[in-house]
Structures are given as structure tokens and as C-alpha cells.
A = this chain, B = another copy of it.
Amino acid sequence: MATERLVVVGGDAAGMAAASQARRLRKPDELAITAFERGHFTSYSACGIPYWVGGDVDGPDALIARTAEEHRARDIDLRMRTEVTELDLDRGRVRTRELDNGGRESWTGFDNLVLATGARPRRPGLPGIDAPGVHGVQTLDDGQALLDTLDASSGRRAVVVGAGYIGVEMAEALIRRGYEVTVLEQSAQPMSTLDPDMGALVHEAMCGMGIETVCGTTVTGVLTDTAGRARAVTTEDGEYPADVVVLGLGVRPETTLAAAAGLPLGESGGLLTDLAMRVRGQDHIWAGGDCVEVLDLISGRTRHIALGTHANKHGQVIGANVGGGYATFPGVVGTAVSKVCDLEIARTGLLEREALAAGLRFVTATVEATNRAGYYPGARPMHVKMLAERRTGRLLGVQIVGREGAGKRVDIAAVALTAGMTVERMTALDLGYAPPFSPVWDPVLVAARKAAGAVRAAGA
């Protein structure tokens, strides 16, 4: 029997998890695995970059889950600094270019192909946006470049463009490094992954931390000094001096290769797959990680969510299937958790605007409760907002803003959403209670009770 050939494009979480899982199931004489990575690093935690920049984590080594050498030791032929430039699906091969070797090109054939090309940061085409001192934070190389700028600069003013996950995490990182931080956000509130009323709580807390947070403003460009370095960010409303500028505008799927090969893309430009993570309509092409769209189990639509935890699961599923096993990725409920300093921010399920767009009618309930028994040291207020479908009372989404212990409570709702639970049923959930952990009514239960009341009040 001829050795089968698996080719992986992209050496980060999804690609290398697929390769590793396939290798666990099939030996080198059965399956040859070749992986191409155009960057300097494999299997790293991009989500950890803000904590590296902030000084909490020694990087970049600590952020690397498995090095190229470790992958090679497991019989994965990993080619670093090698870019895949073309997919030839008809002939089952990919064209590659070695970035450090005079651009030498060659073709590699495959029986199964895994596309794990990741995402690229949104970078608006504005004047000065490419000036030195303006940094994205998508890759370890980006993180190192930002740290070099910070180390070289004597200034102390930072502007972060975008107040989403990356934006607020980078704001924290820069505050910890002693910078005066201004965050500029186009939406009316920070964290547009929350409803505006919950985003307002984040806004208030950020201001309390000394982070100047300017919302509802559009960045128009970056001004440079005589040496060509960034010195200020301009908006429609004014100018913000900056010794360093960090872009936190989110990412979009990197699917240039896939698009050129005619593979199916969704509304956000991500690859579309079946439940086994096989590209739709293809027998031997698989895709996972930040370059795909995933099924949102609540809205019934596909959406793009760039998250390391999904990428790892995708890789695991692909590797199992390519390795002769069976696994699926059933979809997501849209869970995310983040923090800015000691403020924890979490969501799962649908926001109001997302529920409306999905054709759902709903009621909402927002409560303020404490993370622990009110009398226990460290008890702090936390807010929980809950959306429930009218008539059925089915849970549709939860948003949480609070301090220690608030964020991961979103998992309660994530499981309830997955199970299609009603808020009425949730009121009786048997959650862990002891004074250091929760009030007798956990804040999620308090929200469920209020939401259940709202469902009854709304009637048919």
C-alpha cells in the first residue's frame, strides 16, 4: 500500500493540531505529513500576546505550545518560512515558495489537504497607517515588533484603535507598562460584541481605570514626525498624540488561496465546511481555525469567530477524520470571555441585534448581583443580561460584566444554550453554592428568574 500524503497549510493551532492528531492515529509508513508555515513560529498562543506585552508573561517562548523541532520529532515534516502560493486542486498539489531561500519554488502533492491559513488583521487604508510605531498584534512577530518600539521609545502616550477584545486587552497591557492610554472606538460603546447597555458598563469601568475611552469616533489617519514615525492619531473630532499606536480592529479570514482555487466562502469570507470540517463539496480538502466560518447553533447561520479554542478543536476533528477515525465539530454558541485589568467581560449566544437579525423575538432581563455571598470578603457587584425567546422561553444569550469570578460564569449559559434550555428550567439549576463562591442565588439564577418572569409577562 502506498503511503498516503497529508499536506497542511499553516503551522499554528488548527493546522498543527490536525497534523498531530493524524500522526497519533497513523504511523509514518501509512501517512506522510508535510506542513508549511510562512512565519517563524508554530503552535503559539496569539491570545497570549497582550500579556506578554504587558509583562505578565515571558515571551515569546512561553507562548509556544510546541516548537518546530518538537513537531519534527513526531515525524511531521514541517517547513518553516515556506509560503503556499497556489492550490492546484485538479492535480492534488500545492505550490510553495521558500521565503529565506531566494524564493525557491516547488510543488508538493497531497491526498488530503488541510487549510489552516488563519486570519489577517483589519488595517484600514488610512494615511500614515503603515508608519513605524503603528502596530498590529496578530502574530508573535507583531508582538516582538511592538515590544521593540516600546523599549526604544521614551514617550508614555499610547493610542489603541478599536475597543474590542484585542483593544481592551492591549489597553490593559499598556497601562501596566506605565503608559497613558487612549482607546478610540467607532461604535457608541466599547466591546461592540456586547449590547450597548452592557458596553456602557465597560466604558464606565475603563474610565475608572484611567483609560481614556473615546467612543463614536472615526479614525481618519496617523500623523508622522519628521523621521516618518507615528506621532498622533487623527479622528473626525480631533487629534490624539501617540508615541505608539496599536491596532485592535479585529481580523478577517485569510482565504486568498482558497478563493483563488474556487472553494466556497461565506458572508464574512471564511471557508464553509461540513460538520466533519471538510470543505463543502470537496472530498479531500479540510479547513479549520481562523480561516473558516462556523455554524452558530442559536442563529442557525455561519459566522466568523477567531478563537484559539475553536482552532484547536477543529484541528483535533480534522486529524481524527484524516487519521481514519470519526469526529465532528457541531458548532458554537458564541462564547467569549475577556478582561481589562480586574474587569471581566463575557458573552455567549446572541446579542439583541443578532437575535433580531436571526428573526427571533425575545425578552431581556438585566440584574445586578454579587459574585460571592454579600457578606464574604471580596464580594463585588456583577451585571448579568439575559435574552430569552418569547413564547418558548428558550435561552438565547447572556452577557456578563463584573469582577473576579464573573467571566467564567458565562459557561453556565453556554451549556444551557447548547442544551436548548428554557430560562424557566434554568431557575432550578443546581449550581455550586458556598459563601466564598456565590450568593445562595447565583447571579445567573437571579437573571434567569427575572427573564422567566419577563417571558410570562410578555405572554404569547
Binding site for B on A (CB under 8 A): 13, 45, 47-48, 51, 56-58, 62-63, 165, 307-313, 328-330, 332-339, 344, 346, 348, 373, 375-377, 405, 407-412, 414-416, 418-419, 421, 425, 427-438, 440-442
Contacts and interface: CB of A to CB of B under 8 A. Distances in A.
Contacts of A431: 309, 335, 411, 414
Given A63-B375, A373-B48, A428-B330, A437 B415 contact: no
A433 B48 contact: no
Contacts of A408: 405, 408-409, 432, 437-438
A440 B432 CA distance: 23
A433 B51 contact: no
Q: Which 4 A-B pairs have the closest CB atoms?
A: A419-B419, A337-B432, A309-B433, A415-B415
Contacts of A430: 310, 332-335, 348, 414, 418
A373 B409 contact: no
Contacts of A333: 430
Instruction: Count copies of this chain in the complex.
Output: 2
Contacts of A433: 47, 307-309, 335-337
A435 B335 contact: no
Contact of A376 (B57, B336, B348, B405): B57
Nearest to A345: B434
Contact of A421 (B338, B346, B410, B419): B419
A429 B413 CA distance: 11
A408 B430 CA distance: 12
Contacts of A334: 430
A443 to B, nearest CB: 11
A407 B419 contact: no
21 contacts: A48-B375, A51-B375, A56-B377, A57-B435, A308-B433, A309-B440, A309-B441, A313-B427, A329-B428, A330-B428, A334-B430, A348-B430, A348-B432, A407-B432, A408-B437, A408-B438, A409-B411, A411-B432, A411-B442, A415-B415, A415-B421
A279 B4 CA distance: 67
Given A48-B375, A376-B57, A377-B56, A414 B432 contact: yes
B45 A440 contact: yes
A425 B308 CA distance: 19
Contact of A432 (B13, B56, B346, B427): B346
A301 to B, nearest CB: 15
A435 B309 CA distance: 10
A251 B346 CA distance: 38
Contacts of A438: 309, 337, 408
B47 A308 contact: no
A48 B407 contact: no
Nearest to A297: B430
**Best-buried of A335, A416, A419, A442 by chain B (most CB within 10 Å):** A419
A375 B45 contact: yes
Nearest to A419: B419
Given A57-B376, A376-B56, A430-B333, A437 B407 contact: yes
Contacts of A436: 51, 339
Nearest to A432: B337
A410 B334 CA distance: 21
A339 to B, nearest CB: 6
A333 B310 CA distance: 29
Contacts of A440: 13, 45, 308-309, 311-312
A336 to B, nearest CB: 7
Given A330-B428, A375-B62, A428-B330, A337 B411 contact: no
A410 B437 CA distance: 11
Contact of A435 (B51, B376, B414, B435): B51
A418 to B, nearest CB: 6
Contacts of A373: 45, 47-48
A131 to B, nearest CB: 30
